[in-house]
Amino acid sequence: QNLIGDFSRKYLLPLVSGRHQDLKSISISTMASLLKDEFKHVIDSYTIVDCRYPYEFNGGHIKVSSCSSLFLPLSFSSSIFVFSLSHLNCRSIIIFHCEFSSERGPKLSRLLRKKDRELNEYPKLNYPELYLLEGGYKAFFSTHPDLCEPKGYIPMTDPSHVSELKYFRNKSSS
């Protein structure tokens, strides 16, 4: 039973078994194929939600292609629907990730689904097709640095960003 959140159809992208059994995960190779437009015949648009802190993002992030957009959630709860899928009747997907896709990415994916459920009559959803990038940016960058810009990776716990880490952790817990 691999139906999207509103149960209207199957997930388009190939799924992998991930750490978070309640979420649908894709492999880094599937993400690379998506970025290379290998799914453009079935997917109208996609949004990559990079859930890392700004200093991590600025050190390197997944490139945005012509049919994708990038959303960096600084205060996600207050702007949960700021990024929009311009063609809600078209096949549009959202892919979440953080450094490892173990905490921040899954948390925000679940939050979006929860808010979407609250705003709609079950089973209708504005964003029915959500994915999590298994392994996160670190795994993606280690295999596909050519699909990242700049071609870099800054860990969340990088010693040169201790004050920023403390700031964003405090901000996200408040």
Domain ranges of the chain: 25-173
Q: DSSP secondary structure string, the chain?
A: --B-TTSSSB-SSPPB--S-TTS-EE-HHHHHHHHTTTTTTT-SEEEEEE-S-HHHHHH-EEPP-TTEEEE--SSTTTTTTSS--S-TTS-EEEEEE-SSSSSHHHHHHHHHHHHHHHHS-TT--SS--EEEETTHHHHHHHH-GGGEESS----TT-GGGHHHHHHHHHHHH-
Look at residue 86 in the predicted model and tell me its pLDDT. 45
Look at residue 90 in the predicted model and tell me its pLDDT. 66
At 93, list the tokens: 């997907």
Q: What is the pLDDT of residues 96-128, one digit of tens each?
A: 999 999 999 999 999 999 999 998 999 999 899
pLDDT-flagged residues of the chain (< 70): 65-90, 174
Look at residue 78 in the predicted model and tell me its pLDDT. 43
Helix/strand/coil (H/E/C) assignment for every residue in 31-74: HHHHHCCCCCCCCCEEEEEECCCHHHHHHCEECCCCCEEEECCC
Look at residue 82 in the predicted model and tell me its pLDDT. 47
Query: Is residue 54 reached through a cis peptide bond, with omega within 30 degrees of 0 on the bond before it?
Result: no
Look at residue 174 in the predicted model and tell me its pLDDT. 62
Question: Domain 25-173 falls in which CATH fold?
Answer: Oxidized Rhodanese; domain 1 (3.40.250)
Look at residue 87 in the predicted model and tell me its pLDDT. 45
Instruction: Tell me the catalytic residues.
Output: 98
